[in-house]
Chain A
Amino acid sequence: MAGVEIRGATKVYYIKGVPVHALSNVNLSIADGSFVTVVGKSGCGKSTLLRLICDLEPLTSGNITFTVEGKVKSREEQRISMVFQEPRLMPWLTVEQNMAMALIHEPDSKKVQATVERFLSMLGLKRFKDAYPRQISGGMAQRVAVGRTLCYDPDLILMDEPLGALDAFTRRNLQREMVDIFQYQRKTIVFVTHDVDEAVFLGQKTVILDSGRVVREVEIPLDYPRIITEQAFFLLREDIMNTIMSD
């Protein structure tokens, strides 16, 4: 597990020489072992935030540090994994091989095999382990991407709208699986979504972003598994929705 401390994070892109602020002076604390969801309209900087935490892109200014049991650690000392909007599976590898690629630095092949088997079973992918990505459905492919990340055994899991392209039924199933994964694996998870229901269903805290700034942080004091028809769920959802709409 790892917590994240984001201080003054700013990211500026230049489009034809014109600066565009994707993130402006973002301050955010993500507690060790917590499930944080990030919501906001399209283009509010949600994905950029994850890419900066994962070091896929450099910060323009500010800094991001990681904390493990109260001690500050650098990015290099962290195992961070990311599940992207698309599954991003290697088309030339089978489901099993795609998951095993996260363990490329593990010398013990038996351990690799055991880890992959464990997550194949957990995610209900065992029957499809020899299939190529083009032979499985979108929902299954996204599950493989989640499995690949879990095989990596990261301290911090970043999820960038991983369920965005799925149908409602598959989406609901995978949301439940996410909650299970969080409860059993006890990883720190930062989950970006544009779906407020999903944010409230999953997160212990929801961060609302708008135009590259943190507008509000909302604690979600509901027990898992959550029921979306409950009054408390509904009120939290409306509260978050109103905040987003009022900007």
Chain B
Amino acid sequence: MKLIKGIIIPLVIVLLWLFGSLTGFFNSYLLPSPVTIAGTMSSLIETGVLFKHIGISLYRVLFGFALTFMLAFPLAVILGMNKKWNDYFDPILDFIRHVPPLACIPILILWFGIGEPPKIAIIMLATFFPVFLNTLNGVLGCDKKLLEVGQVFEFTALERFRKIILPSALPSIILGMRLGLGYSWRSLIGAELIAASSGIGYMIIDAEQISRPDIIFVGIITIGVFGYCIDYGFLKLTDYFMPWEDRQVDYGRG
């Protein structure tokens, strides 16, 4: 039922769009009809072009995200468990947090050229803070009363972390990962629009240069669908790893 409810609005938009295109209300160059876009998508899938670009973008996102997670997660745990170190890290982290990753593209291109490193660096900049800050909040927000229970039963520091802090912070950590993945996807497309010769972002900017708005729409739809699928996968993972959470799944899913 939820699935049906979630489909209604997109369906209405497509129908209105189709109606507008068929009646000539929309300029077919500026807004190609859904039928044209579906045809373009089908031919891009058949020739393998779409999957090539998706594969490259996905690889960049996952690689950049994995690198960031390996950096942000331990740092957040260490700072969360040793609050006195926060004084050293707070100012520099706050400074970096306020710099939009896309503002760093020119200098990253100067340093690394237009190969893979600047794109990975952009993803890392965009993903770091959602993962880091949510993990940090999760660790800092661990209920002191539960920690006292561990103290009563003479838990070691490692046991306290594994048995109390980590499970208690898990919802925040997963939220950070979800947000981080979303941000990395967005920033990557930004980076690919500016400096790339492959990937979905490149496909879009290339389509603009050859005046193919239908391909632009295929790119936009692909990004949205992939973002949705990744998020959905995360929600399912959350359900699997946190059966104790009585969480409502919204947004017309499932």
Say what secondary structure dominates the interface of chain A. Answer: loop
The answer on a CB contact under 8 Å between A81 and B153 is yes
Question: Counting CB contacts under 8 A, is B208 at the interface?
Answer: no
Q: Which residues of A contact B159 (CB under 8 A)?
A: 104
Give Cα A141–Cα B149 distance, bound, in whole angstroms.
15
Known contacts A91-B244, A132-B244: A101-B152 contact under CB 8 Å: no
From residue A116, how far is it (CB to closest CB) to chain B in Å? 14
Report which of A84, A104, A132, A134 forms a contact with B153, defined as CB distance below 8 A.
Answer: A104
Question: Counting CB contacts under 8 A, is A80 at the interface?
Answer: yes
Give Cα A90–Cα B165 distance, bound, in whole angstroms.
11
Question: Counting CB contacts under 8 A, is A92 at the interface?
Answer: yes
Give Cα A84–Cα B147 distance, bound, in whole angstroms.
13
Report which of A56, A90, A105 forms a contact with B148, defined as CB distance below 8 A.
Answer: A56
Q: Which residues of A contact B168 (CB under 8 A)?
A: 90, 92
Residue of A nearest to B159 (CB): A104
Residue of B nearest to A51 (CB): B148
Report which of A80, A81, A90 forms a contact with B146, defined as CB distance below 8 A.
Answer: A90
Say what secondary structure dominates the interface of chain B. Answer: helix
The answer on a CB contact under 8 Å between A88 and B154 is no
Known contacts A92-B168, A134-B244: A104-B155 contact under CB 8 Å: yes
Report which of A54, A86, A90 forms a contact with B164, defined as CB distance below 8 A.
Answer: A90
Known contacts A101-B163, A104-B159, A134-B246: A88-B146 contact under CB 8 Å: yes
From residue B155, how far is it (CB to closest CB) to chain A in Å? 7
Question: Counting CB contacts under 8 A, is B42 at the interface?
Answer: no
Report which of B148, B153, B167 forms a contact with A92, defined as CB distance below 8 A.
Answer: B167
Question: Counting CB contacts under 8 A, is A181 at the interface?
Answer: no
The answer on a CB contact under 8 Å between B145 and A86 is yes
Interface residue tally for chain A (C-beta within 8 Å): 20
Interface residues of A in 71-114 (CB under 8 A from B): 80-82, 84, 86, 88, 90-93, 101-102, 104-105
Question: Counting CB contacts under 8 A, is A201 at the interface?
Answer: no
Chain B's interface size range is 10 to 19
The answer on a CB contact under 8 Å between B163 and A88 is no
Give Cα A101–Cα B146 distance, bound, in whole angstroms.
12
The answer on a CB contact under 8 Å between A105 and B244 is no
From residue A98, how far is it (CB to closest CB) to chain B in Å? 9
Question: Counting CB contacts under 8 A, is B28 at the interface?
Answer: no
Known contacts A91-B244, A104-B159, A134-B244: A152-B151 contact under CB 8 Å: no
Give Cα A22–Cα B55 distance, bound, in whole angstroms.
65
Give Cα A82–Cα B149 distance, bound, in whole angstroms.
8
Question: Counting CB contacts under 8 A, is B242 at the interface?
Answer: yes
Known contacts A81-B153, A104-B159, A104-B163: A88-B244 contact under CB 8 Å: no
Give Cα A70–Cα B47 distance, bound, in whole angstroms.
87
The answer on a CB contact under 8 Å between A84 and B244 is no
Give Cα A56–Cα B149 distance, bound, in whole angstroms.
10
Residue of B nearest to A82 (CB): B152
Residue of B nearest to A133 (CB): B244
Residue of B nearest to A132 (CB): B244
Give Cα A104–Cα B146 distance, bound, in whole angstroms.
15
From residue A105, how far is it (CB to closest CB) to chain B in Å? 7
The answer on a CB contact under 8 Å between B242 and A92 is yes
The answer on a CB contact under 8 Å between B149 and A88 is yes
Residue of B nearest to A149 (CB): B152
From residue B211, how far is it (CB to closest CB) to chain A in Å? 55
Extra contacts, 7 of them, besides A90-B168, A92-B168, A152-B153 (Cβ < 8 A), are A56-B148, A86-B145, A91-B244, A101-B153, A101-B163, A104-B155, A132-B243
A contact residues vs B (CB 8 Å cutoff):
54, 56, 80-82, 84, 86, 88, 90-93, 101-102, 104-105, 132-134, 152
Q: Rank and list the top 4 A-B pairs by shortest CB-CB distance, nearest first.
A: A92-B167, A132-B244, A92-B244, A88-B149
What are some 6 contacts across the A-B interface (CB < 8 A)?
A56-B148, A56-B152, A84-B149, A90-B164, A104-B155, A152-B153
